[in-house]
Structure 1
Amino acid sequence: MPARTNRTAKLDLRLTPKAKRALQSAAEASHKTLSDFVLESALARADSVLSERQIFRLDEKQWAAFVAALDAPPRPRPRLARLLIEPSILD
Protein backbone atom coordinates (compact mmCIF):
# COMPACT_ATOMS: atom_id res chain seq x y z
CA MET A 1 0.00 0.00 0.00
CA PRO A 2 1.53 3.36 -1.00
CA ALA A 3 2.49 5.75 1.75
CA ARG A 4 0.02 8.57 2.20
CA THR A 5 1.34 12.08 2.51
CA ASN A 6 -0.24 14.67 4.74
CA ARG A 7 -2.27 17.23 2.89
CA THR A 8 -1.83 20.47 4.75
CA ALA A 9 -2.41 23.09 2.04
CA LYS A 10 -5.95 24.23 1.41
CA LEU A 11 -7.74 25.45 -1.71
CA ASP A 12 -11.16 27.09 -1.47
CA LEU A 13 -13.54 27.24 -4.40
CA ARG A 14 -16.67 29.28 -5.03
CA LEU A 15 -19.05 27.51 -7.36
CA THR A 16 -22.68 27.37 -8.25
CA PRO A 17 -24.95 24.79 -6.61
CA LYS A 18 -25.37 23.17 -10.03
CA ALA A 19 -21.62 22.82 -10.47
CA LYS A 20 -21.26 21.35 -6.99
CA ARG A 21 -24.01 18.80 -7.68
CA ALA A 22 -22.30 17.79 -10.91
CA LEU A 23 -18.97 17.31 -9.14
CA GLN A 24 -20.59 15.37 -6.30
CA SER A 25 -22.39 13.10 -8.77
CA ALA A 26 -19.20 12.45 -10.69
CA ALA A 27 -17.29 11.75 -7.46
CA GLU A 28 -19.95 9.29 -6.32
CA ALA A 29 -19.91 7.57 -9.71
CA SER A 30 -16.14 7.24 -9.37
CA HIS A 31 -16.45 5.92 -5.79
CA LYS A 32 -14.32 8.80 -4.53
CA THR A 33 -14.79 11.59 -2.06
CA LEU A 34 -15.56 14.97 -3.55
CA SER A 35 -12.15 16.28 -2.45
CA ASP A 36 -10.28 13.32 -3.96
CA PHE A 37 -12.24 13.57 -7.20
CA VAL A 38 -11.64 17.32 -7.59
CA LEU A 39 -7.96 17.01 -6.65
CA GLU A 40 -7.30 14.13 -9.06
CA SER A 41 -9.19 15.89 -11.86
CA ALA A 42 -7.36 19.18 -11.31
CA LEU A 43 -3.96 17.47 -11.16
CA ALA A 44 -4.68 15.55 -14.38
CA ARG A 45 -5.57 18.81 -16.12
CA ALA A 46 -2.46 20.50 -14.68
CA ASP A 47 -0.28 17.69 -16.06
CA SER A 48 -1.89 18.12 -19.46
CA VAL A 49 -1.34 21.89 -19.51
CA LEU A 50 2.24 21.64 -18.25
CA SER A 51 3.16 18.89 -20.71
CA GLU A 52 2.37 21.33 -23.51
CA ARG A 53 5.31 23.38 -22.28
CA GLN A 54 7.65 20.38 -22.57
CA ILE A 55 6.62 19.22 -26.02
CA PHE A 56 7.48 21.31 -29.02
CA ARG A 57 6.53 20.80 -32.63
CA LEU A 58 8.80 21.48 -35.57
CA ASP A 59 8.13 21.58 -39.26
CA GLU A 60 10.32 19.52 -41.57
CA LYS A 61 12.92 22.27 -42.10
CA GLN A 62 13.16 23.06 -38.37
CA TRP A 63 13.43 19.35 -37.55
CA ALA A 64 16.30 18.92 -40.02
CA ALA A 65 18.16 21.86 -38.45
CA PHE A 66 17.52 20.48 -34.96
CA VAL A 67 18.82 17.02 -35.87
CA ALA A 68 21.84 18.53 -37.62
CA ALA A 69 22.68 20.50 -34.48
CA LEU A 70 22.41 17.36 -32.37
CA ASP A 71 24.53 15.33 -34.78
CA ALA A 72 27.23 17.98 -35.21
CA PRO A 73 30.49 17.37 -33.39
CA PRO A 74 30.93 19.46 -30.26
CA ARG A 75 32.80 22.73 -30.58
CA PRO A 76 36.24 22.75 -29.01
CA ARG A 77 36.18 24.04 -25.44
CA PRO A 78 39.83 24.63 -24.49
CA ARG A 79 39.04 25.98 -21.04
CA LEU A 80 36.88 22.95 -20.27
CA ALA A 81 39.59 20.58 -21.52
CA ARG A 82 42.19 22.35 -19.36
CA LEU A 83 39.87 22.18 -16.37
CA LEU A 84 39.50 18.43 -16.78
CA ILE A 85 43.25 17.73 -16.97
CA GLU A 86 44.49 20.12 -14.28
CA PRO A 87 44.69 18.83 -10.72
CA SER A 88 41.91 19.97 -8.43
CA ILE A 89 42.56 22.12 -5.38
CA LEU A 90 41.09 19.19 -3.46
CA ASP A 91 43.77 16.74 -4.75
Structure 2
Amino acid sequence: MPKLETRNEKLDLRLTPSAKRTLQAAALATHRSVSEFILESALARAAETLPDRQHFGLNTEQWQAFQNALSAPPPPAPRLAKLLKRQSVFERGKV
Protein backbone atom coordinates (compact mmCIF):
# COMPACT_ATOMS: atom_id res chain seq x y z
CA MET A 1 0.00 0.00 0.00
CA PRO A 2 1.47 3.41 -0.99
CA LYS A 3 2.48 5.74 1.81
CA LEU A 4 0.21 8.78 2.08
CA GLU A 5 1.93 12.10 2.36
CA THR A 6 0.90 14.53 5.05
CA ARG A 7 -0.28 17.88 3.77
CA ASN A 8 1.92 20.25 5.71
CA GLU A 9 3.01 22.70 3.00
CA LYS A 10 1.12 25.93 2.40
CA LEU A 11 0.77 27.94 -0.78
CA ASP A 12 -0.59 31.48 -0.65
CA LEU A 13 -2.38 32.89 -3.64
CA ARG A 14 -3.48 36.42 -4.52
CA LEU A 15 -6.39 36.69 -6.92
CA THR A 16 -9.11 39.04 -8.03
CA PRO A 17 -12.57 38.90 -6.45
CA SER A 18 -14.05 37.64 -9.73
CA ALA A 19 -11.44 34.87 -9.99
CA LYS A 20 -12.25 33.83 -6.42
CA ARG A 21 -15.98 33.75 -7.19
CA THR A 22 -15.34 31.60 -10.26
CA LEU A 23 -13.22 29.15 -8.28
CA GLN A 24 -15.81 29.00 -5.50
CA ALA A 25 -18.58 28.29 -8.02
CA ALA A 26 -16.54 25.57 -9.72
CA ALA A 27 -15.66 23.99 -6.38
CA LEU A 28 -19.30 24.02 -5.33
CA ALA A 29 -20.35 22.47 -8.66
CA THR A 30 -17.88 19.60 -8.14
CA HIS A 31 -18.75 19.14 -4.45
CA ARG A 32 -15.24 20.02 -3.33
CA SER A 33 -13.72 22.67 -1.13
CA VAL A 34 -12.02 25.52 -2.93
CA SER A 35 -8.65 24.23 -1.72
CA GLU A 36 -9.35 20.72 -3.02
CA PHE A 37 -10.60 22.08 -6.34
CA ILE A 38 -7.57 24.31 -6.84
CA LEU A 39 -5.12 21.59 -5.80
CA GLU A 40 -6.69 18.95 -8.06
CA SER A 41 -6.89 21.38 -10.97
CA ALA A 42 -3.31 22.58 -10.55
CA LEU A 43 -1.95 19.04 -10.26
CA ALA A 44 -3.89 17.96 -13.37
CA ARG A 45 -2.41 20.89 -15.30
CA ALA A 46 1.07 20.07 -14.01
CA ALA A 47 0.62 16.46 -15.14
CA GLU A 48 -0.28 17.72 -18.63
CA THR A 49 2.63 20.16 -18.75
CA LEU A 50 5.56 18.14 -17.42
CA PRO A 51 5.78 14.85 -19.35
CA ASP A 52 7.04 16.32 -22.63
CA ARG A 53 9.66 18.26 -20.68
CA GLN A 54 10.90 15.24 -18.69
CA HIS A 55 10.51 12.30 -21.06
CA PHE A 56 10.22 11.97 -24.78
CA GLY A 57 9.62 8.99 -27.01
CA LEU A 58 11.35 8.24 -30.28
CA ASN A 59 10.71 5.60 -32.88
CA THR A 60 13.64 3.48 -34.11
CA GLU A 61 14.56 5.87 -36.92
CA GLN A 62 14.43 8.93 -34.66
CA TRP A 63 16.46 7.13 -31.96
CA GLN A 64 19.17 6.27 -34.49
CA ALA A 65 19.30 9.87 -35.72
CA PHE A 66 19.55 11.04 -32.11
CA GLN A 67 22.40 8.58 -31.40
CA ASN A 68 24.19 9.66 -34.58
CA ALA A 69 23.92 13.31 -33.58
CA LEU A 70 25.38 12.53 -30.15
CA SER A 71 28.23 10.50 -31.64
CA ALA A 72 29.10 12.92 -34.43
CA PRO A 73 32.17 15.09 -34.03
CA PRO A 74 31.39 18.70 -33.18
CA PRO A 75 31.26 21.15 -36.05
CA PRO A 76 34.35 23.28 -36.60
CA ALA A 77 34.58 26.27 -34.29
CA PRO A 78 37.43 28.44 -35.59
CA ARG A 79 36.70 31.32 -33.22
CA LEU A 80 36.83 28.97 -30.23
CA ALA A 81 40.08 27.43 -31.48
CA LYS A 82 41.59 30.92 -31.85
CA LEU A 83 40.45 31.87 -28.34
CA LEU A 84 41.95 28.73 -26.81
CA LYS A 85 45.32 29.47 -28.43
CA ARG A 86 45.50 32.92 -26.83
CA GLN A 87 47.21 33.42 -23.51
CA SER A 88 44.63 33.93 -20.77
CA VAL A 89 44.46 37.06 -18.64
CA PHE A 90 45.65 34.95 -15.69
CA GLU A 91 48.77 33.85 -17.58
CA ARG A 92 49.57 37.42 -18.66
CA GLY A 93 49.48 38.70 -15.11
CA LYS A 94 47.58 41.86 -15.97
CA VAL A 95 43.94 42.40 -16.71
- TM norm. shorter chain > 0.5: yes
TM-score band (shorter)? 0.5 to 0.7
- Does 1:66 find its partner at 2:67? no
The equivalent residue for 1:55 is 56
User: Which structure 2 residues correspond to residues 6-85 of structure 1 after superposition, within 5 A?
Assistant: 6-53=6-53, 54-56=55-57, 63-66=60-63
- Counterpart of 2:50 in 1: which secondary structure? helix
Q: Structure 2 stretches of 5 or more lacking a match? A: 68-95
Change (3 A) 1:24 1:69: closer
Q: Runs of 4+ in structure 1 displaced over 3 angstroms?
A: 2-5, 67-70
Q: Structure 1 stretches of 5 or more lacking a match? A: 71-91
TM-score normalised according to structure 2 size: 0.56
Aligned length: 65
Q: CA RMSD in A?
A: 2.9
TM-score normalised according to structure 1 size: 0.58
Amino acid at match of 1:9: E
| Identical pairs, percent | 49
Deviation track 1:13-71 (CA, whole Å, cap 9, x = no partner) reads 0000000000000000000000000000000011111112123567xxxx51525889x
The equivalent residue for 1:85 is none
Deviation track 1:64-90 (CA, whole Å, cap 9, x = no partner) reads 1525889xxxxxxxxxxxxxxxxxxxx
